[in-house]
Structure 1
């Protein structure tokens, strides 16, 4: 390729030796890379949580602290001296991580609570003789008839779900279907809260996993603050 076919910048660099070409200073590049903190993804922002139940509110509170801490650390990393950045970032990081763990514990307890409430509503206490009569009446009936009966009266769902399969004649997938229909009919509010809270818990769990990327960054700053030459040696 002739010089005429080169871009202006290539023409300018063509006559230079490697040593004279304007390569960025390795120390500056390393410093920028070490301090750079990627923005917190939208999936871990408080606005990503759906619903307004107790579980959702708990997740929003935890992710709000994560978002605030993450942003503050990212801004501080741009200008703060390393000896000040490392301990400050560690405190903020640990507080956010602890808040996520607390939220997960709270949400897990809420899920267990809703599960108990659902169970109480779809399997209320039923007289043994009546339960046996219900099972005998429905045994051998098609699954649509059985689920319709379970939706119409919680005593029916209790008689079917509280007994072993050998007494009901139901297969495992049929039992699941009966439970689903009974829950929708007799515990709709608790089922909705359960679904919302499970989703909130899953988001918090993922956020706890994602914060590990910030953990690695904070650790590298702590190493640099205590041993300024440590990371330099690793970079060589």
Structure 2
């Protein structure tokens, strides 16, 4: 089984913190040169510095997936850096809680624009570069919220449900160009951003209802990420795969 990412060039969005930073490290440890994209220059610089300190090839790209110009520029910079782009992990996302009747429309639009349209922009601009070399791996990070309704999650859930569908349509369109498109449906990770967005103890309360009785950590998805990014995953496309401790498929346990 060939899980090596040697010679591959990857882009991870939202790589300045949380699981995005971890995913960038997982790909680098697999042998990929990794471009790290995010809106905060200092956070992206810290991610790149940490990777370079371990001896990995890493490149900082400051930009917002909410801007088509930023995404187009990022892909161009990566092409100039390495001459190719093989792997894109669409991880950048926002999840502001808010009920339908109380959430400002601007927050709704921001959530859709980042979580869904941001991935669309990255696919749109990276796929032609991938097709030039006949190899592409697009991995979208989605959520159990895409499958189940929850109070205060309408915008986030809608954006991720649409991302699941975009994954499948992109897989259908791009497969004959050597590009696979899959999604990792990631469970609750108690990142700083998540903890700061919800009442204290929310992550722990969710964890208690799961068969595995704990929140996720980025390492839970490392093997799947490597599989989907590598030659070993070449016959997998259009898949939405849960790594969520049973949240998507098992009734909450009491």
If the TM-score is normalised by the length of the shorter chain, which range does it land in?
Answer: under 0.3
**Higher-RCO chain (CA-CA 8 Å, sequence separation at least 6):** 1
Q: Higher Cα Rg: structure 1 or 2?
A: 1
Per the normalisation by structure 2, the TM-score is 0.25
Structure having the higher helix fraction is 1
